[in-house]
Amino acid sequence: MTRRCIVLLSGGLDSMLAIRIMQEQGIEVEALNFKTIFTCCQDQSAQVARDLGVRLTVVGQEDDYLDLVEKPQFGRGKGANPCVDCRIYMFEKAKRFMEQIGADFIVSGEVAGQRPMSQKRRDLDRIAHHSDLDDLLLRPLSAKLMRPTLPEREGWVDREQLYDIEGRSRKRLIALAKKYGLKDIPTPSTGCSLTEPKFSKKVFDLMDAPGESRRWDYELLKVGRHFRFNSQTKVILGRDEAENDQLRYAHQLSDANSTASLFPENFLGPRAMLIGPRTDEAIEFAASLILRYSRDYDAGNALIRVDDEIINASETEQAKALQTIAAS
């Protein structure tokens, strides 16, 4: 009887190898890519799935994902990345998918000791246990360093043809890629903004702000320059036309958390969005930021549209803006 597994496909070399190893053993493979608002590698995974001849399903996060980003049970990496909790969440989703489609087990390309956060031996055990997969989760690249899983004990997978790779070196992985005929070897990347120091700073700034942050607020962390006015209020400024459009669109959404949208009326410059109490001071702060990032405006008559009204931004406000400290 042909057994079927689900391989978590990030689009990286490890998950490509995991697929190839299973295919070599005659196991039917379904690929699953997990997408969060912070990841960006689903296009690469689609190409990889095509190249390897497997069907790909992309699963998105639900709103409860943000709970673990804000309060991870197992800590974070160097940035805001809660990798262990995130992997548990992914594998819980994979388990549900496995049950839906009647697959037999889950496979992941994780390599013991490769990443400081989430791939230490203890973390790999934790992830298998807390996702309720336990020995239905097989890591073929490091399987020989671990206890045999159910697919190995049952003989669905031949343990002798699995590997004992450990650590950060890619040497053995690249040799395996050659052995399995993989030509386009991707460079290592998490593809996740939560690991980036600059982006993480914005995430922590949002978490420190009073009130509950929602998906809308997190989505906007990827857009524009962020300036904090006070603990409750911040301004986002578009960096180009596309971002100006994104800010305009986000402000119009029914779940928008923004309180004002500002745009130059008689000169060229960025759009600004205000999040937090719409006080005169906050509007002036946002207007002065627009002037700071604009050229060729009449300092005495720089008109800015604030939703349905027009204000004249003064030089004084521009001077204020120059003293602001960017939150990002």
Beta bridge partners of 258: 275
Closest CA to 260 of 277, 245, 243, 246: 277
Choose which of 19, 56, 83, 262 interacts with ligand SF4 (CB under 6 A): 83
Closer by beta carbon to ligand SF4, 79 or else 140: 79
Sign of the torsion formed by the C-alpha atoms of 86, 92, 94 and 97: negative
Closer by beta carbon to ligand SF4, 108 or else 318: 108
Query: What residue has token string 């980036």?
Result: 196
Shortest CB 182 distance to ligand SF4, Å? 22
Closer by beta carbon to ligand SF4, 80 or else 304: 80
Closer by beta carbon to ligand SF4, 110 or else 217: 110
Q: Is 15 near ligand SF4 (CB under 6 A)?
A: no
Contacting ligand SF4 within 186-225 (CB under 6 A): 190, 192, 194-195
Closer by beta carbon to ligand SF4, 195 or else 246: 195
Q: How far apart are CA 94 and CA 105, in angstroms?
A: 10
Contacting ligand SF4 within 50-69 (CB under 6 A): none
Q: Write the CB contacts of 75 (distance below 8 Å, at least 6 apart in sequence).
A: 82, 84, 117
Q: Which stretch binds ligand SF4 (CB under 6 A): 54-62, 75-83, 229-237, 249-257?
A: 75-83
Shortest CB 246 distance to ligand SF4, Å? 22
Choose which of 45, 61, 81, 114 interacts with ligand SF4 (CB under 6 A): 81
Closer by beta carbon to ligand SF4, 173 or else 302: 173
Backbone angles phi, psi at 230, to 5 degrees: -150, -175
Q: How far apart are CA 114 and CA 170, in angstroms?
A: 9
Closer by beta carbon to ligand SF4, 11 or else 224: 11
Closer by beta carbon to ligand SF4, 24 or else 67: 67
Q: Which stretch binds ligand SF4 (CB under 6 A): 47-55, 80-88, 124-132, 231-239?
A: 80-88
Q: Write the CB contacts of 178 (distance below 8 Å, at least 6 apart in sequence).
A: none
Query: What residue has token string 């490890």?
Result: 14
Q: Write the CB contacts of 20 (distance below 8 Å, at least 6 apart in sequence).
A: 52, 180, 182
Closest CA to 136 of 89, 95, 166, 85: 95
Q: Is 87 near ligand SF4 (CB under 6 A)?
A: yes
Shortest CB 163 distance to ligand SF4, Å? 22
Q: 3-class SS at 136?
A: helix
What is the Cβ-side half-sphere exposure of residue 243, based on CA atoms within 13 angstroms? 18
Contacting ligand SF4 within 106-125 (CB under 6 A): 118
Shortest CB 43 distance to ligand SF4, Å? 15
Between the two ends of the chain, the Cα-to-Cα distance in Å is 56
Shortest CB 213 distance to ligand SF4, Å? 17
Positions that interact with ligand SF4 (CB under 6 A):
36, 39, 81-83, 86-87, 118, 190, 192, 194-195
